[in-house]
């Protein structure tokens, strides 16, 4: 750090009564004039609530990730343009996406046969515009070109009250179709 430059550190502090709080410590080095020794100037801001909220959010995200990863179905989230923004491991496996590859950013319609895309676009618009929950059968297309039947359950993806895309549960129904 350069003299006079403020630096911030998050630290767990202990009060005289033994209780603790999270604080953000802001400090800067002040160089003394005329051979005066340097000293630190600073203040502490209590960030306990922000720290606890961030920890709760991390825990919630971890729980969501663990839950989604344990599902035997594929789960994907798409933005308003239909671009994939999230996919669980099972979704990647269903579509034969190599581990070192990614479908993030690709349009979800690329994973359906062309004959199903117009209907899927209309149904995705219903989810996003009307907040509808949609269930539909499609023929999906893996990255290697093989096709397989699926049922897709789509619900609105919300941030507060705003619809920001769709969350889709994907069930491979190949075994049902063989019967």
Asked if the model's pLDDT at residue 136 lies above 60, the reply is yes
3-state DSSP assignment of residue 72: coil
Asked if the model's pLDDT at residue 116 lies above 70, the reply is yes
In this predicted model, what pLDDT tens digit does every residue of 41-65 receive, in sequence order? 899 999 999 999 999 999 999 998 8
In this predicted model, what pLDDT tens digit does every residue of 94-104 receive, in sequence order? 999 886 677 88
Asked if the model's pLDDT at residue 12 lies above 90, the reply is yes
User: Would you state the structure tokens that stand for residue 159, as one six-digit string?
Assistant: 């941030």
In this predicted model, what pLDDT tens digit does every residue of 64-97 receive, in sequence order? 889 899 999 999 999 999 999 999 999 999 999 8
Query: What per-residue confidence (pLDDT) applies to 41?
Result: 87
b/e map 42-76, b = 16+ CB within 10 Å = eeeeebeeebeeeeeeeeeeeeeeeebeeeebbbb
User: Would you state the structure tokens that stand for residue 173, as one six-digit string?
Assistant: 């129904």
Average pLDDT, the chain: 90
């Amino acid at each position: 750090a350069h003299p006079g430059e403020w630096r911030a550190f998050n630290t767990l502090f202990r009060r005289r009564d033994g209780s603790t709080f999270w604080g953000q410590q802001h400090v800067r080095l002040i160089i003394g004039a005329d051979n005066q020794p340097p000293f630190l100037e600073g203040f502490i801001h209590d960030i306990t609530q922000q720290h606890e909220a961030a920890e709760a959010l991390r825990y919630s995200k971890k729980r969501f990730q663990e839950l989604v990863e344990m599902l035997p179905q594929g789960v994907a989230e798409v933005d308003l343009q239909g671009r994939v923004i999230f996919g669980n491991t099972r979704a990647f496996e269903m579509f034969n996406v190599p581990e070192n590859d990614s479908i993030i950013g690709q349009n979800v319609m690329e994973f359906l046969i062309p004959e199903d895309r117009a209907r899927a676009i209309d149904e995705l618009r219903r989810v996003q515009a009307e907040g509808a929950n949609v269930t539909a059968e499609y023929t999906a297309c893996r990255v290697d070109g093989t096709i397989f039947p699926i049922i897709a359950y789509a619900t609105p993806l919300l941030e507060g009250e705003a619809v920001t895309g769709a969350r889709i549960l994907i069930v491979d129904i190949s075994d049902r179709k063989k019967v």
